Structure 1
Amino acid sequence: TQITASEELVYHKCFGHLQCARLLLPLDYWNGTKDGEPVSLGVLRVPAKVPVTDPRYNGPIFINPGGPGGPGTLFAQFGGEGLQRYVDSGNPVLEASANSTEKFHDIIGFDPRGIGETTPSAYCFDDNEYRWIWMLRSVEEGLPGSSNAALGRLLSMNKAYTESCNVKASQPGNILNYVSTAHVARDMLELAEKHEQWREKEVAKLLPTSQSRISRRWDGGKKYKAKLQYWGFSYGTYLGATFAAMFPDNVGRMILDGVLEPEDFTGGHWVGSVTDTEKAMDTFYEHCAAAGPEHCELAQNNSTPAEVRESFQSILWELYHNPLPVQATWGPDVLSYSAVKGFVFQTLYSPVILFPTLATLFRHLEIGDLSMVAQFMEKYSPIPFGRRAGSSFPTPLISDASRAIECADADPFDAFDVEYFRQHMRELDGVSPVGGGLMTALHMRCAGWKARNIRFSGPWGGNTSTPILWIGNTADPICPIKRQVSLAHNQAARFPGSVVLTHDTAGHCTLAAYSHCTTAAIRAYFHNGTLPEPGTTCPVVQFPFNTPMPGQNIESVSNAIAQEYADAAAAHEEVKRVFTDLGMGYGMPRFWSHPMM
């Protein structure tokens, strides 16, 4: 907030060697609305390891971590350097040869409209204290299906919430009316263009006039010549696909990682999103049984996956009937079925990191070790317990803009009643008992929503200036590979030249587990535009409990390749933990943020 927004991109030193900026953008690109304040876009740049005048400088890669409404500045602050090391060639030598093939990139994160450091903030509550009280009430209400009355009460709470948003949105120029993905895609076009103009000014300052003229790509007589290089995760794939469909001539190298189906998202039903959730859940039972009790605490000697599943379901079902009283560090509390089921779903996003914690939790629930359960609750609770009366409450990591974006993009369903949602929950539970209740809760968020943004609803396609690389996992709990492959192949027809890469692991996006093959494909694409062969499947080298499933394809590479990619593997691990700790990705729970700038 200390940085003054400007119509040009002006970077300021922040957080050590990082750079922050605030870009002033129109509130309304299409209708020329004069009410309300302009958008001040919060931007954070991890500078490339070489100057912009260096021939090895390969431009910026803009990132979006998912959401909707994930704070890109926070992701760039904590994960940007890891992403940079993962994508770049390595540490550059001071003087590169004329024929050097090394490539180095800026990593740039930004907060979408209404989110984080971007102002004006989208809000439906007047203060954070009451927001947290409301969140606590929602948590205590549980998931739809956690009791006979939960569905009706949650629907009423969601309608009350959205009516509060409707009241705010009725004010002329309120940001809640200008946060759709179409608006954010338009912001990205402006951001890419402004960065290109900034680069040209830097070139002019650093090089003699004769050389700077040669180096320039900016044509002052033609706006929006910049090509957007982009890596979008989860919901970020929907944002990327929206950009590509709206501005096909401005698509640079674009990776859409963990592909969200546009029609499923805009329809607001998400039945297609959970078609592989049980497949991802089954990998927990299979890896745990294969690992045995030495590595998976829930397993017994010679356990089968079916036996692990039976034990797991028995413990979870016991919580449904008998929530567990716990003495936590902040005082008395209760561990509920809904809280644990929500965490189970969260672990499916990052099995390598979180499956061991899940197994440990269930083992200690089984034996009644409440001290470990209390430690678990303190670490994974979405509520900032332990704050004394009178202390300040942190700003939630994702504000009301998350709901506003989702509802602005979705088809209207403000007239749906409790019976509709009851039937919808049965449909979702029939597809995925693990994810059905959570997806029903997400679907209910737009009940009663009236604020209508300009939105993009297709057609989803275009002859992009650069072909797109789509990537999906074989057991993704929220963006299933079958639908991704079908979608991406369908999109490849809509976006000529696009290619689908399959990342052979459970979890959400390529950050779920490391693969040399996937790393090489991503680097080749960002470095020189080379796409993998259509139909390529990349095995991984990381597994939950450090144990592959019987018959699972394991990536094997030479020592030379392993050595060459050692730093990329370490960087991937860093970013994976940031992605997990911040709860990034579509449908993930969010915690709270820290002031950025």
Structure 2
Amino acid sequence: MNPWESITPSEELEWHPCYGLIKANFRCARLTVPMDYNRPLSQSRAHPKVHIALLLLPGATPNTSKTASKSPLLLNPGGPGGSGVMILLAMADAIQKILGPDQPIIGFDPRGVSFTTPRADCWAKPPACTGCPEDAASGLMHRLEWDQMTSVYGLLNSSNVALKFLEAGHRAVNDLCRSKGAQLGAESILGHASTAHVARDMVSIVDAWDRWIESRGLPPSSLKGKLVYWGFSYGTYLGATFAKMFPDRVGRMILDGVVDADYYVSPVWEESLLDTDKVLDRFFLYCARAGRRCSLYREGDKAEDVGRRYSEIMERLQTSPVTFTHPEHFYPVILRASYVKTIVFSVLYSPIQGFPILAMLLNWVHEGKFDELAGLFQDATLMCSIIGNPAITGMLSDAQRAIMCSDKTQLVNLTIPEITTAYEQMASTSQFADIWMNLMLKCNGWDISTPHPISSASSTPSAYPWSPQASTPAANNNNQSQIETSFPLLFLSNTYDPVTPLHAAVKMAQRFKNAGLVEQLAQGHCTLSAVSGCTARIVREYVLQGKVPPPPVVFSPGENLKLDGEGEWTRCRANEGPWGVHDQDADWVQLAKTGGVAVEQVEDEGVVEAWRRVHEAVASVRKWGVMEREWEGFRFGNVW
């Protein structure tokens, strides 16, 4: 059952019990805000509304007339297009373990996403009559059929025609979205889904919470009117955008796995893959250190031997794809290099869980164990189960396309030669450019924009809060170009992140006055991809005590800086690595010493266990995300 269908939207927060089988004290609300903040709320089609889905885990300590309320922590899991409701369902208890049982937490679905209505769905067939609902089921079937059809093109460089057809496919979907927007007119969310709009929605959520606390006769929080926020991946762009638009509204803001805002709004987001191949190199290193615990290991292997075996497997798949008959569903299977490569790329997000599984998969390919490989391929019954499952159908939408493309500072209309040039430049940085470039193609030909200009001066969203590829400010905390917020931001990054490199975290931390930076000596996407009691302690002290680590000091600031330890900022060790290998080896320690700042460590087992629970919750969500993306033709489009 979908609990949201029974909740009547309201302009004030009205909390209803929901998801009781998961946790008894979960509460849901649907907060009504204007689709266009330049127009007042009304029932008119000319003034449509957005109903934001919010899931609350209340603080365990009951509020009394003598106890000041705590401002809730808002979560955004990234994407763009990730569901805050779903991430809170997975990790609510774990986060409260870190921040304390009295910390209320809210997961919300941004406009266009999942349970927030209207959803950004270009495929749902328009209503057949006035007042009739859209035909979402047939639209979903068409979406899945399209994804399966276009998956045959492989990756961008799979053939001499792949790019042409992939680009045409994205233009075709954008044409579909344009047609849907034209049919819905002012009621279409597609032109009102930008990050700037969502930042304005977060102001509405904060204000609605404060009104709700006041209506209960409770003392206001010391952070009344301020946003307390934790954003991951794309969620760091949302948080930074909020901080730039509403600097006096920042209460606490953690930005984890940092997106370079200046590149994100450009036609091609080029710098994301700076450290991707370094994460893959760590797979080879860990496998060699794990020995026989790693399925791809052979006696006496060093990291370079494992890497060589991996390259041989991928080259063999490229020249001679594996074929076999599915032992259960009885149909022919072709295992192509592009499919395996996308799995490898996904695993780089969560190395602790993913590396052992990847080693096993690669070893099956290496040894020709087709019965085990058959589990990667599903029967048509899975498609039918997806269509009938509202939790999953709500996740399959065009929110990512609508948000990401609306955030561009100019319409993207690249030619094939221009795309080729951009791809070749990206490929000089990473072997996974053929996967990442396909994400960039989503915005080619998208021309659905906000109908009229909007300005942050009138407390409404700025259309373009960031400028493409702006220069990095000097590493001087007193630089006048820095954005001064009512409370300093906290930036978190792994040393090697596959899609949000440390370079971006250092750069973005310099954009905000007195912002702290913590580098976690680990690999994977966002710091939650590893377990670190040190990082957990810093997060807890930041939220609960307002303790901010020092701003980064960069020795040689510049846009092309290679950040292999060339600066001073706080660094945290991880408590474990893949295969249980304790990751406090010489290379990490030397990296920390290069920066001239001592590595912090903490032995509080309670804090470590709390961070581990959050880590495991995120890993489970990402595992589901891999399953979802398989239905997108194994083309990885999600940033998170």
> Same-fold call, TM > 0.5?
yes
Give the corresponding residue for 2:240.
241
Q: Tell whether the 8 Å contact from 1:143 to 1:338 is kept in structure 2 after alignment.
A: yes
Give the corresponding residue for 1:93.
none
1: CA distance, partners of 2:519 / 2:385: 50
2: CA distance, partners of 1:304 / 1:226: 56
* SS at structure 1 position matched to 2:11: coil
Distance 1:57 1:133, change over 3 A: same
Distance 1:195 1:25, change over 3 A: same
The correspondence of residues 383-398 of structure 1 with structure 2, limited to 5 A, is 386-387=382-383, 392=388, 394-395=392-393, 397-398=395-396
Distance 1:591 1:58, change over 3 A: farther
Q: Tell whether the 8 Å contact from 2:515 to 2:550 is kept in structure 1 after alignment.
A: no
* SS at structure 1 position matched to 2:605: helix
Deviations 1:564-594 (A, max 9, x none): 325414422432323422439xxx94779xx
The correspondence of residues 89-238 of structure 1 with structure 2, limited to 5 A, is 104-125=102-123, 126=125, 127-170=139-182, 171-173=184-186, 174-202=188-216, 204=217, 212=218, 215-216=219-220, 226-238=225-237
1: CA distance, partners of 2:370 / 2:122: 37
Distance 1:576 1:389, change over 3 A: closer
- Which among 22, 39, 50 is matched to residue 39 of structure 1? 50
2: CA distance, partners of 1:533 / 1:407: 35
AA of the residue aligned to 2:466: G
* SS at structure 1 position matched to 2:75: strand
Q: Tell whether the 8 Å contact from 2:572 to 2:601 is kept in structure 1 after alignment.
A: no
- Which among 422, 436, 443 is matched to residue 439 of structure 1? 436
Deviations 1:349-371 (A, max 9, x none): 10001010100000010000011
* SS at structure 2 position matched to 1:45: strand
State yes or no: 1:85 paired with 2:97: yes
Q: Tell whether the 8 Å contact from 2:94 to 2:611 is kept in structure 1 after alignment.
A: no
- Shift of residue 503, structure 1, vs aligned partner: 1.0
Q: Tell whether the 8 Å contact from 1:75 to 1:579 is kept in structure 2 after alignment.
A: yes
AA of the residue aligned to 2:285: E
- Shift of residue 55, structure 1, vs aligned partner: 4.0
Q: Tell whether the 8 Å contact from 1:57 to 1:105 is kept in structure 2 after alignment.
A: no
* SS at structure 1 position matched to 2:6: coil
State yes or no: 1:12 paired with 2:13: no
Q: Tell whether the 8 Å contact from 1:511 to 1:576 is kept in structure 2 after alignment.
A: yes
2: CA distance, partners of 1:464 / 1:388: 49
With CA pairs under 8 Å and 6+ residues apart, which has the higher RCO, 1 or 2? 1
Give the corresponding residue for 2:546.
529
Q: Tell whether the 8 Å contact from 1:296 to 1:360 is kept in structure 2 after alignment.
A: yes
Give the corresponding residue for 1:418.
416
Deviations 1:385-405 (A, max 9, x none): 534699747516241111010
Give TM-score scaled by structure 1 length. Answer: 0.86
- Which among 477, 480, 483 is matched to residue 501 of structure 2? 480
2: CA distance, partners of 1:572 / 1:225: 27
- Which among 46, 50, 63 is matched to residue 75 of structure 2? 63
Q: Tell whether the 8 Å contact from 2:33 to 2:50 is kept in structure 1 after alignment.
A: yes
Q: Tell whether the 8 Å contact from 1:51 to 1:57 is kept in structure 2 after alignment.
A: no
Give the corresponding residue for 1:547.
581
Deviations 1:286-345 (A, max 9, x none): 1111111x2111111221211111110111122222332241644423222222111111
Q: Tell whether the 8 Å contact from 2:74 to 2:107 is kept in structure 1 after alignment.
A: yes
Q: May I ask how many residue pairs the two structures share in their alignment?
A: 548
Give the corresponding residue for 1:355.
355
1: CA distance, partners of 2:601 / 2:247: 37
2: CA distance, partners of 1:143 / 1:296: 28
Q: Tell whether the 8 Å contact from 1:266 to 1:457 is kept in structure 2 after alignment.
A: no
1: CA distance, partners of 2:520 / 2:300: 30
Q: Tell whether the 8 Å contact from 1:244 to 1:461 is kept in structure 2 after alignment.
A: no
Deviations 1:456-475 (A, max 9, x none): 33379532111100111100
* SS at structure 1 position matched to 2:506: helix
Q: Tell whether the 8 Å contact from 1:37 to 1:120 is kept in structure 2 after alignment.
A: no
Give the corresponding residue for 1:373.
373
Deviations 1:480-523 (A, max 9, x none): 112321332x22xxx22211111110001111101111011000
State yes or no: 1:565 paired with 2:607: yes
Distance 1:390 1:178, change over 3 A: closer
AA of the residue aligned to 1:576: V
State yes or no: 1:581 paired with 2:623: yes
2: CA distance, partners of 1:306 / 1:566: 33
Q: Tell whether the 8 Å contact from 1:329 to 1:386 is kept in structure 2 after alignment.
A: no
Q: Tell whether the 8 Å contact from 1:287 to 1:548 is kept in structure 2 after alignment.
A: no
Q: Tell whether the 8 Å contact from 2:33 to 2:201 is kept in structure 1 after alignment.
A: yes
Structure 2 unaligned runs (5+)?
Answer: 126-138, 455-462, 468-480, 552-568, 590-598, 633-640
Deviations 1:422-465 (A, max 9, x none): 121111111101x2011110111011111113623337953211
Distance 1:217 1:502, change over 3 A: closer
Q: Tell whether the 8 Å contact from 2:115 to 2:394 is kept in structure 1 after alignment.
A: no
CA RMSD of aligned residues (A): 2.5
Distance 1:128 1:448, change over 3 A: same
2: CA distance, partners of 1:19 / 1:260: 31
Give TM-score scaled by structure 2 length. Answer: 0.81
AA of the residue aligned to 1:516: G
AA of the residue aligned to 2:573: P
User: What is the percent sequence identity of the aligned residues?
Assistant: 33
- Shift of residue 260, structure 1, vs aligned partner: 0.2
- Shift of residue 122, structure 1, vs aligned partner: 1.1
- Shift of residue 225, structure 1, vs aligned partner: 5.6
Structure 1 unaligned runs (5+)?
Answer: 91-103, 205-211, 219-223, 593-597
Give the corresponding residue for 2:135.
none
